[in-house]
């Protein structure tokens, strides 16, 4: 990168972007605990239909992102990151207002589609990190930003559960208010990360799904990293969607026990993303940090899937959380594989891949889990989905080891 990037200004921008992504995560997640109850209230408390509709709403949110995320990312390369941030915060706020006022499920469905079509603040923030942070500082910066996002996603359900005790609709209104605060913050306090000199010109045909994914063809170093990204997301989905069912079935965990597990895992995740990831990338280099993180995640999930008792499940889960150093290292390597005027398209492609796994993985892993616990199979079979995640992580480490570009350890942030 060039001399426009200096450590003090990079730190200030990372702090500003971290605050925005915290607000984004908080606004999105504050309604998580009450959305199923909101759906149920519109279905006259029909349990099976409620479960189906919650799944359909998730798909209605993720599907539009597969197409729109690369388009929005390319547009942010042309017009800057702040317009996309504003659009996304507005989409979240509108969805939550529709959720609160909804007289029927059609309103909820419309809100989720609107949010999916406009969802892009996180991609814009990640592109903004690449815009303003030199390569040697980028993994640490991504770690801070990811930690802030994780903190928002953890704080949201806690706040939403407390608010719902008084009024079922209040979490939606509060989430909309947080989104409005985020939009005002973008307008009044957040500088534009993308310099005009690095924006694409109107003549360049880059604002489209195909044009965005052409990055994988025109940048050979990006293709194996995209494969690692896909494997990492699938591995995450294999446990994220199933661990609550798995621990209840195999270990008899209560909701309180699972709540403690989530709290501990969340706290460790924030610490790993915010502090350990940057140190690992600085001392090992991003490639080795990527391999180490994938390996830790694989071994951790192997222990989780095989553990016959919860006392053995816990150490595996802690090792798996340490594997979260994968994400900042991978983000750094991918951002360095493309030009300064392609960061938005890159983040759009990343979001599209993540959204695809969000649609496909739950269908695959829930079906596998249903098969594993059916019939006369041993309780040990319940860990099949998590063991699949371990295999996917191992494949990610193998791909990273064979093909990821090498980088020397970088300077401290």
Q: Tens of pLDDT along 270-325?
A: 999 999 999 999 999 999 999 999 999 999 999 999 999 999 999 999 999 999 99
Are 350 and 384 within one domain? yes
Are 120 and 179 within one domain? yes
Are 214 and 303 within one domain? yes
Are 375 and 256 within one domain? yes
Are 183 and 240 within one domain? no
Are 113 and 48 within one domain? yes
pLDDT digits (tens, 9 = 90+) for 22-50: 999 999 999 988 888 899 889 887 776 88
- What is the C-alpha separation between 299 and 286, in angstroms, rounded? 20
The CATH number linked to 295 is 1.20.1250.20
Instruction: Say which residue the tokens 């815009």 belong to.
Output: 131
In a domain, 413, yes or no: no
Opening angle at CA 39, ends 36 and 41, nearest 5 = 110
- What is the C-alpha separation between 26 and 155, in angstroms, rounded? 6
Instruction: Identify whether the C-beta of residue 38 lies closer than 8 Å to the C-beta of residue 183.
Output: no
Task: Kindly state the helix (H) or strand (E) to which residue 54 belongs, with its residue range.
Answer: helix 47-79
In a domain, 233, yes or no: yes
Are 388 and 282 within one domain? yes
Task: Kindly state the helix (H) or strand (E) to which residue 411 belongs, with its residue range.
Answer: none
In a domain, 4, yes or no: no
Are 118 and 39 within one domain? yes
Name the DSSP letter for residue 276.
Answer: I
Are 125 and 228 within one domain? no
* Helix intervals (H) in 165-253: 170-188, 209-213, 215-218, 222-240, 243-251
In a domain, 86, yes or no: yes
Domain of 328, in residue numbers: 208-404
In a domain, 3, yes or no: no
Are 390 and 289 within one domain? yes
Where among 192, 221, 243 does a domain terminate? 192
- What is the C-alpha separation between 51 and 308, in angstroms, rounded? 29
Query: What pLDDT sits at residue 170?
Result: 95
Tokens read off for 49: 């239909």
In a domain, 140, yes or no: yes
Q: What is the CA radius of gyration of the chain?
A: 21
Using DSSP's 3-state secondary structure scheme, residue 45 falls into coil
Are 150 and 229 within one domain? no
Q: In Å, how far are 190, 237, 246, 315, 367 from 243, measured between CA atoms?
A: 38, 10, 5, 15, 14
- What is the C-alpha separation between 51 and 73, in angstroms, rounded? 33
Query: What pLDDT sits at residue 359?
Result: 86
Regions of the chain short of the pLDDT cut 70: 1-8, 48, 202-212, 241, 404-413
Q: How many structural domains does the chain have?
A: 2
Using DSSP's 3-state secondary structure scheme, residue 320 falls into helix
- What is the C-alpha separation between 81 and 87, in angstroms, rounded? 10
The burial class, CB within 10 Å (0-12 / 13-18 / 19+), for 403 is: middle
Instruction: Identify whether the C-beta of residue 15 lies closer than 8 Å to the C-beta of residue 22.
Output: no
In a domain, 377, yes or no: yes
Are 138 and 260 within one domain? no
Query: What pLDDT sits at residue 285?
Result: 92
Instruction: Say which residue the tokens 């009044």 belong to.
Output: 188
Where among 192, 216, 248 does a domain terminate? 192
Where among 148, 167, 192 does a domain terminate? 192
User: E strands within 321-392?
Assistant: none
Q: What are the percentages of helix, strand and coil residues in the chain, rounded to 5?
A: 80, 0, 20
């Amino acid at each position: 990168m060039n001399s426009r990037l200096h450590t003090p200004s990079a730190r200030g921008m990372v702090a500003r972007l971290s605050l925005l992504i915290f607000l984004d995560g908080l606004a999105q997640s504050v309604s998580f605990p009450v959305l199923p109850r909101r759906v149920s209230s519109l279905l006259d408390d029909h349990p099976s239909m409620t479960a189906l509709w919650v799944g359909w709403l998730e798909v209605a949110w993720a599907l539009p992102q597969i197409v729109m995320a690369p388009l929005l990312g390319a547009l942010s390369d042309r017009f800057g990151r702040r317009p996309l941030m504003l659009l996304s915060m507005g989409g979240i706020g509108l969805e939550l207002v529709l959720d609160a006022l909804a007289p029927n499920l059609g309103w909820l469905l419309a809100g989720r589609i609107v949010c999916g079509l406009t969802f892009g603040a996180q991609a814009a923030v990640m592109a903004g990190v690449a815009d303003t942070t030199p390569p040697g500082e980028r993994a640490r910066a991504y770690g801070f930003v990811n930690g802030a996002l994780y903190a928002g996603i953890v704080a949201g359900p806690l706040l939403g559960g407390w608010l719902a005790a008084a009024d079922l609709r209040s979490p939606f209104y509060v989430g909309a208010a947080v989104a409005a605060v985020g939009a005002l913050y973008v307008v009044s306090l957040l500088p534009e990360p993308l310099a005009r000199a690095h924006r694409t010109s109107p003549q360049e045909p880059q604002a489209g799904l195909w044009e965005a994914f052409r990055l994988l063809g025109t940048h050979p170093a990006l293709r194996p990293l995209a494969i690692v990204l896909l494997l990492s997301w699938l591995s995450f989905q294999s446990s994220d969607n199933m661990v609550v069912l798995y621990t209840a079935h195999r270990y008899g965990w209560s909701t309180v026990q699972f709540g403690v597990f989530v709290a501990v895992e969340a706290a460790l995740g924030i610490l790993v993303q915010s502090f350990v990831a940057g140190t690992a990338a600085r001392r090992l280099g991003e490639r080795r940090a990527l391999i180490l993180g994938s390996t830790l995640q694989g071994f951790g999930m192997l222990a989780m899937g095989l553990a016959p008792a919860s006392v053995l499940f816990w150490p595996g889960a802690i090792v798996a959380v340490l594997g979260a150093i994968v994400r900042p290292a991978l983000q750094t390597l991918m951002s360095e594989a493309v030009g300064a005027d392609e960061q938005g398209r890159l983040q759009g492609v990343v979001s599209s891949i993540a959204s695809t796994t969000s649609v496909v993985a739950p269908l695959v892993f829930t079906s596998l889990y249903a098969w594993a616990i059916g019939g006369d199979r041993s309780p040990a079979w319940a860990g099949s989905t998590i063991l699949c995640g371990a295999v996917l992580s191992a494949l990610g480490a193998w791909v990273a080891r064979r093909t990821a570009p090498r980088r020397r350890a970088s300077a401290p942030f």
